[in-house]
Amino acid sequence: MVLLKNLQPPTEGVRHEQAETTAVMDGQRLGCGTLYVAETRLSWFDSSGLGFSLEYPSIGLHAISRDVSAYPQEHLYVMVNGKLNSEKAADDDDDDHDGSSDEIRFVPSDKAALESMFSAMCECQALHPDPEDDDSDNDFEGEEYDVEEAEHGHADIPTFYTCDEGLSALTQEGQATLERLEGMLAQSVAQQYHMAGVRTEETKAEFEDGMEVDTAAMEAGQFEDADVEHW
Amino acid sequence: FKSLVGKDVVVELKNDLSICGTLHSVDQYLNIKLTDISVTDPEKYPHMLSVKNCFIRGSVVRYVQLPADEVDTQLLQDAARKEAMQQKQ
């Protein structure tokens, strides 16, 4: 048995409202009612005020089914993750072994409305992204995080940037330090030509790395006399 | 993914459902819209027959099977490696 709750239909942010829509849950006809596609959730209520609502994160898939031979009427198919009721868990035979999914079909009397019902649901799904994200797909987000961490850090300028993108993500402090160091490098480079002459390219690469940034800042002045090999 | 729009892909969901279709669009959350979908693996395919358009939420996708000749695997490997390096930091 499906447990229908007496809830209020959503009043705000209703993207689409479809009256005379029959809901079929796992093969069980719930009767004729009104489907509300709201920005907060998806709801359906029959004439007596009983109905159910679905949170968008629980909706795994929705689709328009048009093949009359498969199902007698064109309808909106919705696949829901997880169980709607814990009671059903014991009874249901049709489920997959993994991830339990429930199927709901919304059969509107107006078939032409299926497209707009579908589109409204797509839009609302986009409003409810999943909170858990193992990886950040957006490179943009990744870079922003790094900059934030850099700002919170001490004089420890982000030391890990080896590629070009890293340079652009340096904080203002980092940029200033980089410029200062490059100036100092230019001075010591001139001297190195006299002394070793070979290491210039390597040292420049190391500066980009940023690893040596802090220590180099302090010791660069000392290098006028000392060995180049500290680099 | 955006370069695959218009190509046929197979989306396998976490509940073992496999759907073949033409990639209509994809967004930043990897929500996928497929058109003209059809069955790939009849056993793992519940009675969702002959659906024309479907919207698949990114969180329920387990795999997206791409046609091998559509993807420059070398480029993909390099990009993935680079991103992994950035994320370690």
What domains are there in chain A, each with its CATH number? 5-85+100-126 (2.30.29.30)
Q: What is the number of domains present in chain B?
A: 1
CA A156 to chain CA centroid, Å, is 30
Q: What is the CATH number of the domain that holds B66?
A: 2.30.30.100
For B1, the closest chain A residue by CA position comes to A137
Supply the range of the domain harboring residue B12: 2-87
How far is A166 from A208, CA to CA, in rounded Å? Answer: 9
A8: left (phi over 0), alpha (psi -120 to 50) or beta: beta
How far is B3 from A191, CA to CA, in rounded Å? Answer: 52
User: Is the ipTM above a cut-off of 0.85?
Assistant: no
How far is A221 from B9, CA to CA, in rounded Å? Answer: 61
Q: Which of B52, B58, B89 sits opposite A160 (nearest CB)?
A: B89
Determine the pLDDT at residue B4. Answer: 79
Burial class (CB in 10 A: 0-12, 13-18, 19+), B4: middle
Which among A163, A178, A171, A176 has a CA at the least distance from the CA of A212?
A178
pLDDT at A100 over 60: yes
Whole-number Cα distances in Å, A25 to A4, A101, A104, B36: 11, 11, 5, 25
User: pTM for the complete prediction?
Assistant: 0.59
pLDDT at B57 over 90: yes
Which among A36, A71, A72 has a CA at the least distance from the CA of A56?
A36
How far is A4 from A44, CA to CA, in rounded Å? Answer: 10
Q: What is the pLDDT of residues A115-162, one digit of tens each?
A: 999 999 999 999 998 876 555 444 444 334 444 444 554 444 444 445
Which among A190, A167, A185 has a CA at the least distance from the CA of A231?
A185
Task: Determine whether the interchain pair A142/B87 forms a contact, defined as Cβ–Cβ distance below 8 Å.
Answer: yes
**Alpha helix (H) residue ranges in chain A:** 88-91, 114-126, 139-152, 164-168, 172-195, 200-209, 213-219
B15 contacts in chain A (CB < 8 Å):
60, 81, 96, 98-101
Phi/psi at A151 (nearest 5 deg)? -70, -30
pLDDT at A80 over 80: yes
Q: Does A131 touch chain B (CB under 8 A)?
A: no
Q: Which of A67, A130, A143 sits opposite B59 (nearest CB)?
A: A130
Mean pLDDT (chain A, rounded): 69
Task: State both tokens at A2.
Answer: 């499906």
Q: Which of B16, B50, B56 sits opposite A67 (nearest CB)?
A: B50
